[in-house]
Amino acid sequence: MIPNMEPFTRSVDLLSGAIAADAVVEDRRVADLHGYYLDDSGAEPDRIIYRLYAVPVPEANSELQCSTTVIEPGRIGREYHMTKGHFHAHRDRSEVYLGLAGDGLLILATEDGRHRVEPIRKGSLSYVPGGWAHRSVNIGDEPLAFFAVYVGDAGHDYATVAEHGFPVRVIQGDDGVPLVMEHPGHRR
Amino acid sequence: MIPNMEPFTRSVDLLSGAIAADAVVEDRRVADLHGYYLDDSGAEPDRIIYRLYAVPVPEANSELQCSTTVIEPGRIGREYHMTKGHFHAHRDRSEVYLGLAGDGLLILATEDGRHRVEPIRKGSLSYVPGGWAHRSVNIGDEPLAFFAVYVGDAGHDYATVAEHGFPVRVIQGDDGVPLVMEHPGHRR
């Protein structure tokens, strides 16, 4: 019953979010998020929006997946750089975020259209309960970095968000201040 | 199937490890660790060895328990300040540590007497797989602080460690350097 795993240690740069050694590094570029933004026609397709550093372990319920995410500052049109966002494939599985650097928002949404907005900043500890899709948004001028842990077999359901979007979007207002706007196209 | 939980955010001081707002704070004093050290007769029973800040959530398999631990610098006799150490009651459940400040060692042990020693320092990400008891030791001159996440229903088995101890102890050598010593009283 006890998995045959050895303890290990990785090194996380708490200022930049980078994980050293054999972490899996994946970049998400403008082209990868086509369809998530209202209008990405003015953005260079190769531009990196965010980078993931993952420390994969077996996708078992008793394990914990660890990663960091670094979202570059910037906007696509009036929308701030953001992650795709997803539900967990196993809907009841939770996730926690520990903010490391930058200034961001965590947008959470349920399948029946409720939403919540929580801050992400240095030292913020966010709890993402089961049933809540989660997307992070960089509203600052510096990279937004956070450490995430989720239940090992949670899995990812990106399709539901890709199809229906989030109930709100985060855009830069006319005075340069971030605004959380209801998304008219979102199902209710 | 999806628990009815709302998202929430707490604030972790990444320098000191303290968690603000309604975290549960527990102190572990010399008297609480009587029997864990070779000889605590010279130590003030009320002295705080470490403090726990916990953010409790339901003890369900889909949840994640988050906490920080702050171990004060110091020794009991030649042994450095350390936590009690425990197995998880559900042996297969894993835990992760993210080091925040200080200089420490994570001592891991299996029930059949194997052990491992991993560093804890700023940015160290330690993976504690199922089946490994874990104890942290402050070998530095400053408080040792780390953030921990474990599977929600892991539970604690302190009794096995209290009865059998760890295979090794961490003591200050004659030259002031930490030594990891085999513990002669440990079962094999």
pLDDT digits 0-9 by tens, A76-100: 999 999 999 999 999 999 999 999 9
Q: Retrieve residue B123's tokens.
A: 């940015």
Residue whose tokens read 């975290």: B23
Neighbour count for residue B152 (Cβ, 10 Å)? 21
Q: Is B3 on the interface with A (CB under 8 A)?
A: yes
Complex ipTM value: 0.94
Put simply, the answer to whether B61 touches A64 (Cβ < 8 Å) is no
Put simply, the answer to whether B7 touches A150 (Cβ < 8 Å) is no
Mutation site for A-interface testing, chosen from B64, B67, B111 by largest number of A Cβ within 10 Å: B64
- Which one, of B119, B42, B117, lies nearest residue B76 by Cα? B42
Please give the CATH number for the structural domain made up of B24-182.
2.60.120.10
Nearest to B2 among A7, A96, A130 (CB): A130
pLDDT at B1 over 80: no
Tell me how far apart the alpha carbons of residues B22 and B55 are, in angstroms, rounded to a whole number: 8
- With contacts defined as CB-CB under 8 Å, which chain B residues touch A64? 64, 94-96, 127, 149-151
Put simply, the answer to whether A2 touches B94 (Cβ < 8 Å) is no
pTM of the model: 0.95
Mutation site for B-interface testing, chosen from A96, A106, A111 by largest number of B Cβ within 10 Å: A96
- Closest alpha carbon within chain A to B110: A6
Positive or negative: CA dihedral A141, A48, B8, B148? negative
- Going from the C-alpha of A113 to that of each of A82, A126, A131, A181, the distances in angstroms are 19, 20, 11, 14
Q: Is A133 on the interface with B (CB under 8 A)?
A: no
Beta-bridged to residue A146, according to DSSP, are A69, A99
pLDDT digits 0-9 by tens, B19-68: 987 789 999 999 999 999 999 999 999 999 999 999 989 999 999 999 99
Neighbour count for residue B81 (Cβ, 10 Å)? 27
Put simply, the answer to whether B131 touches A3 (Cβ < 8 Å) is yes
- Closest alpha carbon within chain A to B123: A12
- Closest alpha carbon within chain B to A16: B123
Q: Residue A70: which residues within 8 A CB-CB, separation 6 or more?
A: A16, A17, A18, A50, A51, A53, A143, A144, A145
pLDDT at B188 over 60: no
User: What integer pLDDT is reported at residue A186 of this predicted model?
Assistant: 66
User: What residues 144-173 of chain A have any CB closer than 8 A to a CB of chain B?
Assistant: 147, 149-152
Tell me how far apart the alpha carbons of residues B38 and B61 are, in angstroms, rounded to a whole number: 36
User: What integer pLDDT is reported at residue B183 of this predicted model?
Assistant: 78
User: What integer pLDDT is reported at residue B21 of this predicted model?
Assistant: 77
Q: Using pLDDT thresholds of 50, 70 and 90, give the confidence band for residue B184.
A: low
Tell me how far apart the alpha carbons of residues A29 and A52 are, in angstroms, rounded to a whole number: 11
pLDDT digits 0-9 by tens, B59-116: 999 999 999 999 999 999 999 999 999 999 999 999 999 999 999 999 999 999 999 9
Nearest to A7 among B8, B128, B150 (CB): B128
Put simply, the answer to whether A2 touches B130 (Cβ < 8 Å) is yes
Positive or negative: CA dihedral B50, B55, B58, B62? negative
